[in-house]
Structure 1
Amino acid sequence: MSMLNVRTDEAMEKAIAALTESGRTRSEAVRYALLHTYRDELIKQAQADAERLANDPDDRAEMLAIQRYLGLVE
C-alpha cells in the first residue's frame, strides 16, 4: 500500500474531525471521503450518460440492440 501526504487547511481539519467522531482514524476518514467522492462522481457520470441516451434516439436504439444481444430484453 502506498502512502499519500496531504496538506490540510482549517476546512479540511474540520471535515476530518467530523469524520473521526465515530471512531475512525484520520487515515480511515480520508479513505472514506475519497471513496465516497469517487462513487459520487461515478454516479454523476452514469446519470449524465443515461440522460444522453434517453434524449438521443440513435443511442437508445443501440442500447436496445445491445440489451437484446445480451438477452436482457426480448
Structure 2
Amino acid sequence: MATLSGKSAFVLVLVTGVVVPGVMNYVLSVVLGQQMLGRIVWTLGFGMMIGVIWYGWLRPLDFKGPERDPEEAERKVKD
C-alpha cells in the first residue's frame, strides 16, 4: 500500500471535505427535496474537514517567536 505525503494527504482531505458534503447536499436538497437535511449534512461534513485540518496540520505548529539570548539583550541595553 502506498503512503501519502503530507501535501497529498492535505489535498485529499481538503477535496474530500468539500466535494463529498457538496454532492450529498445536492442529492438531498435538489434530488430528494430535503433542503434542511442537505444543509445539515454539508455543514457537518465541511466542519469535520476543518477539524481534521486543524488537528492534523495546524495544531502541531509552534507559533512562537525566536528566543533571545539574555547576554545579547543586556549588551543591546548597555549600548
Give your verdict on TM over 0.5. Answer: no
In the superposition, the TM-score normalised over structure 2's length comes to 0.36
Structure with more contact order per residue of length (Cα contacts < 8 Å, sep ≥ 6): 2
In our comparison, the structure showing a higher alpha carbon Rg is 2
